[in-house]
Amino acid sequence: MIPERQRVPVLDVDATPLRVNELIEAIGGLITAGTMSTVLGHNLHSITLFHSCRNFSSLYQNSSIVLLDGAPVAMLWGFAHRRELRLLGEKPMAYRLGSMDWIPELGRVPGLERVAVIGAGRDANTTAIARLRSIIPGATVDGMPGEAWDEALEGAVVEWLKEFRPQLVLLGLGMPLQETVLHRRLGQLPPAVYCTVGGAIEQVAGIQKLAPRWLGRLGLEWAWRLVLHPGRVAYRVFVEPWKLAGLLVRRRFQTPKTKGK
């Protein structure tokens, strides 16, 4: 059973606090149910988009699971639930789940037999598929690359998924493209568990270096990414938090009626 969403204070969003074992069990339950499900993650970038884009917020509000992906999100949630965590002997960062915290554990999902990998370049996609076949022995794993994504490729992917009929889809097109595609196509896609995984396909393939896990536990993974990809990450680190702060302040001064529009 998937736990109820819990409020993340200050950031004005809800999330599903899960540890790795609990997420693996939840994915197994969603696969058994055989319905359309989505597993998303909240970090400061997604929360900025959540508060500024109606379609983005709609997708998150209706998602089956919203993970505590970013360290600041997990820490703020943990601060609000510090008493319960103290009784459990847990720390908030145990509930902070990036894609590479749980993808290597997919072999423990009961009944997982068909997996689709959508995204990254052709070489990375092919290598990630081979790696996932070793992680999930006996499962059929296949995919399509996501480079040069356009309307024609999107339509081809939708048709391929209908034919392949996966139980689990790893959608790694980067944020917000992967969420935009899900929102736009959800009604046309076959039932499965759709997980947005950002750049994790390249990380599974070994093409993109993964930050040491101890940095993630300290909430410093952003520094690793900033060093490796300054052009891609600098805006999110130095500018976007101020944009998010402005959005949150504006929400505080809105009336309930205005927020509901």
Whether residue 260 has pLDDT greater than 50? no
Rounded Cα distance between 34 and 193, Å, is 8
Q: What is the pLDDT of residue 80?
A: 92
Asked if residue 106 lies in contact with residue 136, where contact means CB atoms within 8 angstroms, the answer is yes
Tell me the pLDDT tens digit for each residue of 35-55: 999 999 999 999 999 999 999
Helix (H, G, I), strand (E, B) or coil at 66: strand
Ramachandran sector of residue 253 (left: φ over 0; alpha: ψ -120 to 50; beta: rest): alpha
Which 3 state secondary structure label does DSSP give 232? Answer: helix
Q: Which of 16, 98, 8 is nearest to 51 (CA)?
A: 8
- Global pTM value: 0.90
Which residue matches tokens 């988009």?
49
Tens digit of each residue's pLDDT (9 = 90 or more) over 68-126: 999 999 999 999 999 899 888 999 999 999 999 999 999 999 999 999 999 999 999 99
Task: Convert the pLDDT of each residue in 160-216 to its tens digit.
Answer: 999 999 999 999 999 999 999 999 999 999 999 999 999 999 999 998 776 666 666
- pLDDT(261) > 60: no
- To 10 degrees, the CA torsion angle through 216, 118, 137, 165? 140
**Can you read off the two tokens belonging to residue 62?**
């209706």
Say what the pLDDT of residue 251 is: 83
Per-domain residue ranges of the chain: 6-259
